[in-house]
């Protein structure tokens, strides 16, 4: 019975890590939207879509091109 419990705990750990990455991903999208509403002349919704579709590249592009312009 012990190996079954160990396998289940590894699956739960992977689920928790995956959930944390998903929450970080959603947090980046929400932060970009809110920040773009305050600091960008471009539509905030479009920047949020860019970060949603390409998270790291979209965030870098927003920070370079979208913020303060």
- 68 band by pLDDT with thresholds 50, 70 and 90: confident
d(CA 38, CA 68): 9
Predicted confidence (pLDDT) per residue in 3-59, tens digit: 555 555 566 777 888 889 999 999 999 999 999 999 988 899 999 999 999 999 999
Could you tell me if 26 and 55 are in contact, meaning their C-beta atoms sit under 8 angstroms apart?
A: no
Single pTM value for the model: 0.77
pLDDT of residue 5: 54
Cβ atoms 66, 40 nearer than 8 A: yes
CA-to-CA distance for 47 and 53, rounded, in angstroms?
A: 10
Q: Which two tokens stand for residue 61?
A: 């592009």
């Amino acid at each position: 019975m012990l190996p079954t419990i160990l396998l289940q705990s590894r699956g739960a750990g992977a689920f928790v890590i995956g959930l944390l990455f998903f929450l970080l991903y959603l947090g980046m999208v929400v932060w970009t939207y809110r920040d773009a509403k305050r600091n960008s002349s471009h539509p905030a919704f479009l920047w949020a879509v860019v970060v949603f579709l390409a998270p790291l590249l979209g965030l870098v592009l927003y920070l370079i091109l979208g913020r303060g312009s």
